[in-house]
A and B are shown apart, each in its own frame.
Chain A
Amino acid sequence: MTASYLRICDTSFDPEAEHKAFREAVGGAGAIVAFTGLVRGEGKGLTLTLSHYPGFTESQISEIARQAQARWPLVGWRILHRVGAMTAEEPIVFVATASRHRRDAFEAADFLMDFLKSEAAFWKSEKVDGNERWIEPRAQDITDKNRWS
């Protein structure tokens, strides 16, 4: 089974099952770094809705993954990203990288997340108590991304 792929999911996914499947697909790797991003749970009754541009978003993220592969010797990578409506504590993103030694996997996962948070073609709106607002990247997300240039 191919270890490296991107999947945009319109329903919930199971990060633990993904981690296990990824580990089985990257035989020979000495290190796996897996990151799961969750919808923050502080806002009760919060709904987060993500939309994307089918075809465009996938090719943009695949290009970022190609850059990660060119930069670090990865045995494999996997990115899952939710779209649609989510509530607090649901997984929103899963990024896993595998390499022979730990540093490459750590750095590549960090790089992928920084680009996903600041550059990926998603549009996010948050609804709390009936009030909806669009969300844009925080200044910190841009600073984080610029560490890699």
Chain B
Amino acid sequence: MIEILFFGRLGDASDTLRIDKPKDVSDTDALTAWLSKQNRTLEAELNKAGNRIAVNKTIISENTPLNDGDEIAYMSPLSGG
């Protein structure tokens, strides 16, 4: 099971997902591609510049392997406080 969270505009496009990790999804690039196939609105948001991805609450800057139990967060550009 993995948990996928979405924030900002991305949160408008999808609710939180708690799913079994799809068989062919072994890293964040593959997960992003898989999500894009599930939901057209989400695909449009995922393609926008300035989004960030965190795995287990740490921002990643390159493709990262995923394991069962991971929490992945897709963040639209931050608004600040």
Contact = CB atoms under 8 A, between A and B. Distances in A.
Size category of the A interface is: 20 to 34
Given A59-B57, A123-B8, A137 B73 contact: no
A108 interface: no
A53 B73 contact: yes
A88 interface: no
Interface of A is mostly: mixed
A51 B11 contact: yes
Contacts of A135: 79
A121 B59 CA distance: 11
B81 A116 contact: yes
B19 interface: no
Interface string A101-125: 0000000000000001111111110
Most buried by B among A50, A117, A136: A136
A90 interface: no
Contact of B11 (A50, A122, A123): A123
Interface of B: 5, 7-9, 11, 54, 57, 73, 75-81
